[in-house]
């Protein structure tokens, strides 16, 4: 009988046959020898850092973590909305960080007092290039007017910022590269097999196009932005603007998938309406876009064209938020949208979209992502709150998404719910998901961070993971008293 350990069996991992040990790991290993004798199970904790700020990770800005050469690198939003990184070495079991990788222009003018003061749009996306350099793009929410004319939309806040590690496989030192548009937000990396890097983002605030910039030299230079989803005023109502929320990933072979929802953006009486679900595909041989049936689309795609050629789901007045999209071995997309209070799953059958199926029996959505094992066997990791308990669990279908059952849980705790990032890129089986959980103290501004895999959370020495008190004392000169809320 075949025994499954969850969505870990067939995930390609590049095990470190000969681990390239960077300077920083050598230094850390020396420290580890001194401390290993004092380490015991009693002072290990389940989180790896506690200085997550606001909503430090999301499936939107992605990937936030990547496994490369035996090490999982994790980026997240830390104090003052700056970009932070930690690294876990799967061979030695040692952690590094948090290290600040770059400064955001946001989060500084008004030190946040409540979670609602925190912008969160500039959460970091991370990738490791073919030479081992680590890239993080973060800090954008449309860009300030001082950066000049935005040819693809409206200004907003912050500056999309690209930083790169000064040395391969080393998180200790970073440099900024001014080679991407400052107007970007919701930054997303797609790294192709041939080394090409595509950086996708919305080029400004709501009333802006979605674009990508392409790099063929490991992120040293990027081509100018190319528009793919068009924002424009509606002909029949000048108060209404076509706007979008989109999610990109590598598809089958040399393709990139896009799944997205429509935002009717009102200039007066603005609300957060989102509708429908859409899907399209880029052929990276010539960077042309196609619908699921293979019809080439004129780019940038307009609302009219999207409705006609790329619609997965017409939700009418029902609210629809983007989920994620992964492809199977046939290249067929499996897509989720959060619609009407449920995570709804769709699959392309080759000639039509399968009818929507609600993954959970009761309403309640959270962040989720898909791992497609085969066209009929699909895993969905879902962070949600059920009966007062926050949980991160795998849900599984073996009949192509017609029925779903809750499988193993990676983490659950009474109290606040968890948030998760998109699945770790090229993941090690022990480290598939990055999660955060808001802590009670400091007005709920800060979060613990977790790295989860087949054995649940990867633990860390408490004195290494609980950095927030020292960190805040260094930033603000304040002394943190009382219970920090770890449990």
Binding footprint of Zn ion on the chain (CB under 5 A)? 206, 265
Q: How far is the CB of 275 from Zn ion (least distance, A)?
A: 13
Nearest to 100 by CA among 167, 171, 170: 171
Among the options 62, 67, 90, 121, which is catalytic?
A: 121
Q: Residue 97 or residue 184: which is nearer to Zn ion going by CB?
A: 184
Q: How far apart are CA 141 and CA 182, in angstroms?
A: 9
- Provide the b/e sequence for 123-145 (b: ≥16 CB within 10 Å): bbbbbbbeebbbbbbbbbbbbbe
Burial of 254 (0-12, 13-18, 19+ CB in 10 A): middle
Catalytic residue status for 121? yes
In the complex with Zn ion, which residue's Cβ is closer, 10 or 270? 270
Task: State the catalytic residue, choosing from 8, 76, 88, 186.
Answer: 186
Our CB check for Zn ion shows the closer of 180 and 265 to be 265
Which three-class secondary structure string do you get for 17-36?
Answer: CCCCCCHHHHHHHHHHHHHH
Answer whether 373's CB lies under 8 Å from 362's CB.
no
128, 136 in Cβ contact below 8 A? no
- Residue 334 burial (10 A CB sphere; 0-12, 13-18, 19+): buried
Cβ nearer to Zn ion, comparing 272 with 481: 272
Length of the chain: 487
CB of 258 to Zn ion, least distance (A): 19
CB of 273 to Zn ion, least distance (A): 8
**177 closest CA partner among 154, 188, 161, 166:** 161
Least CB distance to Zn ion at residue 55 (A) = 19
**Shortest distance in whole angstroms from residue 171 CB to Zn ion:** 36
Q: What is the DSSP track for 301-357?
A: BPHHHIIIIIEEE--TTS-EEEEEEEE-TT--EEEEEEETTEEEEEEB-SSSBPPPE
Cβ atoms 144, 157 nearer than 8 A: yes
> H or E stretch including 463?
helix 462-465
Residue 223 annotated as catalytic: no
Residue with the shortest CB distance to Zn ion: 265
For CA atoms 291, 292, 293, 294, the dihedral sign is positive
Least Å distance, CB 153 to Zn ion, is 11
Show which residues are catalytic: 121, 186
């Amino acid at each position: 009988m075949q025994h499954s350990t969850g969505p870990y069996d067939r995930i390609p991992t590049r095990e470190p046959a000969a681990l390239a040990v960077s300077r920083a790991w050598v230094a850390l290993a020396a420290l580890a020898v001194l401390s290993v004798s004092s380490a015991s199970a009693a002072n290990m904790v389940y989180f790896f850092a506690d200085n997550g700020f606001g909503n430090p990770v999301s499936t939107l800005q992605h990937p936030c973590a990547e496994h490369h050469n035996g090490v999982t690198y994790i980026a997240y939003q830390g104090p003052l909305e700056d970009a932070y990184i930690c690294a876990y070495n799967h061979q030695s079991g040692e952690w590094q960080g948090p290290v600040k990788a770059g400064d955001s222009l946001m989060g500084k003018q008004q030190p946040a007092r409540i979670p609602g003061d925190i912008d969160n749009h500039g959460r970091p996306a991370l990738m490791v290039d073919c030479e081992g350099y680590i890239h993080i793009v973060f800090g954008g929410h449309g860009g300030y007017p001082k950066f000049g004319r935005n040819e693809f939309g409206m200004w907003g806040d912050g500056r999309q910022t690209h930083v790169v590690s000064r040395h391969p496989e080393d998180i200790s030192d970073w440099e900024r590269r001014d080679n991407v548009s400052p107007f970007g937000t919701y930054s997303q990396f797609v790294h192709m097999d041939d080394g090409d890097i595509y950086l996708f983002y919305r080029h400004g605030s709501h009333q802006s196009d979605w674009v990508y910039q392409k790099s063929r030299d490991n992120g040293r230079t990027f081509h100018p932005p190319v528009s793919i989803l068009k924002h424009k005023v509606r002909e029949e109502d000048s108060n209404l603007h076509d706007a979008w929320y989109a999610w990109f990933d590598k598809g089958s072979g040399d393709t990139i998938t896009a799944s997205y929802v429509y935002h009717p953006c009102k200039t007066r009486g603005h609300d957060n309406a989102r509708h429908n679900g859409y899907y399209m595909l880029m052929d990276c041989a010539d960077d042309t876009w196609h619908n699921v049936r293979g019809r080439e689309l004129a780019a940038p795609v307009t609302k009219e064209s999207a409705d006609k050629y790329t619609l997965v789901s017409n939700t009418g007045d029902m609210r629809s938020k983007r989920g994620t999209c992964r492809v199977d071995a046939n290249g067929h997309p499996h897509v989720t949208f959060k619609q009407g209070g449920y995570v709804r799953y769709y699959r392309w059958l080759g000639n039509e979209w399968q009818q929507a199926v609600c993954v959970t029996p009761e309403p309640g959505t959270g962040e989720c992502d898909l791992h497609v094992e085969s066209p009929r066997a699909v895993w969905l990791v879902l962070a949600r709150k059920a009966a007062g308990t926050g949980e991160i669990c795998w849900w599984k279908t073996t009949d192509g998404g017609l029925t779903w059952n809750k499988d193993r849980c990676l983490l659950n705790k009474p109290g606040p719910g968890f948030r998760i990032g998109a699945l770790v890129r090229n993941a090690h089986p022990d480290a598939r998901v990055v999660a955060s959980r808001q802590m009670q103290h400091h007005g709920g501004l800060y979060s613990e961070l977790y790295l989860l895999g087949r054995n649940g959370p990867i633990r860390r020495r408490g004195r290494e993971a609980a950095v927030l008190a020292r960190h805040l004392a260094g930033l603000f000169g304040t002394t943190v008293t009382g219970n920090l809320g770890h449990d």
